[in-house]
Amino acid sequence: MIWNKLALPRIESLRPDVPLPPRLLFAASEATPMTKTGGLADVAAALPAALRELEVDVRVLLPGYSSVLSAITHVQPLAELPALGAFPACKLLAAQGPDRQQLIVLACPELYERAGGPYLDAAGKDWPDNAVRFGLFSYVAALLSADSSPCEWRPDVLQCNDWQSGLAPAYLRFGGRPHASSLMTVHNLAYQGIFAPSFVPRLGLPSQSLHIDGLEYHGNMSFLKAGLFYADRISTVSPTYAREIQSEPLGFGLHGLLAGRNAVLDGILNGIDERAWNPATDPALHTNYDADRLPDKARNKTELRRRFGLRQNPELPLLGIVSRLIAQKGIDLVVACAERLVALPAQIIVLGTGDADIEHDLAALARDHAGTVAFMRGFDESLSHLIEAGADIFLMPSRFEPCGLNQMYSQRYGTPPVVRRTGGLADSVVDCTPATLAIDSATGFVFDSPTPAAFLAAATRAVHTWRQPDLWRQVQRNGMTRNFSWTASARRYRDLYQTMRPAT
């Protein structure tokens, strides 16, 4: 291995009696605005930024996808790693992201520079070499966190996010002396990174790791289980989800392990980037507004309707959805009651991409109800902001939701959400009842059972409330003035990292 010295600046303490803030390596397989398929990208941009304000010395480790390489500046070569086992030769670059993030980019053209998404090819199939792509990513995260790392800048804590960096705690466990403690953060337990057992030796891990007390999962290897088993601590993205994953069905087969480790498991609710998601300044809106200029919100609705050929009728509330179109998100509940929603009456607009069947059903609805239902297939960041602003009510009937960000964006945009009581939705939306209205805490409409009837009842309550303008304004204002910033949660992470610092 030929490593150059990693010359990243150190923060020196002027007060030796006061401990230095922790140094954190945050390994993430996507980060806004360079590459995004879902909420992890938003978190990987906003949480490190909030941590920096708390003086945590954080570097984000990202794979060098083409979209990352073309967006970074101040690039400095840090190290070169020759081919090793299944891993091709690669380079590490220190760089700045478009939002001045401090990045370490893992450049390996053979693995990461291709047309298509970070995990799927252009046809929507998993890249066949994902085990090697994210095996290398995990390996490098561990290497940078090990005592043997030749880099000057060493983290106190390595935070792994989801299965793509889940193997890093296993490499730390078997690869010599770790310098950093490891935290495995679960954003979604449904994705586990499961591969054939033959990858264990190919990825340089010892056969003893392929064990029930290890990374073995029903005869295969699991990247996520490796992280959950070998990491020093575990966290997930809401307190309710932290409880839900300790039993079936949301434990997805890992509930026993999680329940057994619950003494080191924390649920910390995500925040939102309040600069990027602010209706008063958002450049993607037709007209900006805030809680004191609510009538201006309506111009965004007019614009949305104009763009999507929906009828301009003031009697009709507009129900909005921005989502990955997968079973988790409960879009089938919306499809199942679409006729009843339209008959309320209401209009529906959906932006999303995902399973062919759900896309097909939504396209059919839009055809059958031209002027009332619109479906835009695709991923469009700026349109997602306009829908948050232009819709009256946001629909998020997820079957499960580790945290969810859109329900928080929608509350901030004065677009009360209809959500199922699960995961982060349960932790961030307050159901509208006489009691919660009386104390000005109602921000949305919550239902329990994942059935079309329960969802329809909550959506109907939302539409009835929308028809009462004073009441509606109150619910809108409650959501818009609620604090969804990262500040409190970033402090909790910082305190957690402090407790994890290896003793010096």
Q: Which two tokens stand for residue 437?
A: 């209205």
Q: Which of residues 265-324 bind ligand ADP (CB under 6 A)?
A: 322-324
Q: Which two tokens stand for residue 73?
A: 């500046």
Among ligand ADP, ligand GLC, none, the one that 159 touches (CB under a kind-dependent 5 to 8 A) is none
Minimal CA–CA distance to 277: which of 285, 268, 269? 285
Residue 136 vs 272, nearer CB to ligand ADP = 272
In which element (H, E) is residue 452 found? helix 452-466
CB under 6 A: which stretch of 69-77, 138-146, 254-262, 397-405 binds ligand GLC? Answer: 397-405
> 3-state DSSP call for residue 244?
helix
C-alpha to C-alpha distance for 504 and 502, rounded to whole angstroms = 6
Among ligand GLC, ligand ADP, none, the one that 297 touches (CB under a kind-dependent 5 to 8 A) is none
Question: Tokens 């997930």 label which residue?
Answer: 236
Q: Which of residues 128-147 bind ligand GLC (CB under 6 A)?
A: none
Q: Which of residues 95-124 bind ligand GLC (CB under 6 A)?
A: none
Total residues in contact with ligand ADP, by rule CB under 6 A: 17
Q: Which of 322, 403, 459, 490 binds ligand GLC (CB under 6 A)?
A: 403
In angstroms, give the least distance from the CB of 425 to ligand GLC. 9
Under rule CB under 6 A, residue 405 binds ligand ADP: yes
Under rule CB under 6 A, residue 331 binds ligand GLC: no
Report the Cα 485 to chain-centroid distance in Å: 15
Q: Which of residues 8-47 bind ligand GLC (CB under 6 A)?
A: 38-40, 43
DSSP label at residue 119: S
Q: Which of 57, 273, 401, 427 binds ligand GLC (CB under 6 A)?
A: 401
Among ligand GLC, ligand ADP, none, the one that 479 touches (CB under a kind-dependent 5 to 8 A) is none
Total residues in contact with ligand GLC, by rule CB under 6 A: 14
Minimal CA–CA distance to 328: which of 477, 168, 467, 187? 187
Q: How many residues does the chain have?
A: 504
Q: Which of 35, 188, 209, 300 binds ligand GLC (CB under 6 A)?
A: 188
In angstroms, give the least distance from the CB of 270 to ligand ADP. 7
∠ Cα 293 299 302 (to 5°): 155
The 3-class secondary structure across 22-83, one letter per residue, is CEEEEECCCECCCECCCHHHHHHHHHHHHHHHCCCEEEEEEECCHHHHCCCEEEEEEEEECC
DSSP label at residue 262: G
- Which residues are at the interface with ligand GLC (CB under 6 A)? 38-40, 43, 187-188, 237, 270, 401-405, 424
- Which residues are at the interface with ligand ADP (CB under 6 A)? 38-39, 42, 322-324, 351-353, 379-381, 384, 403-406
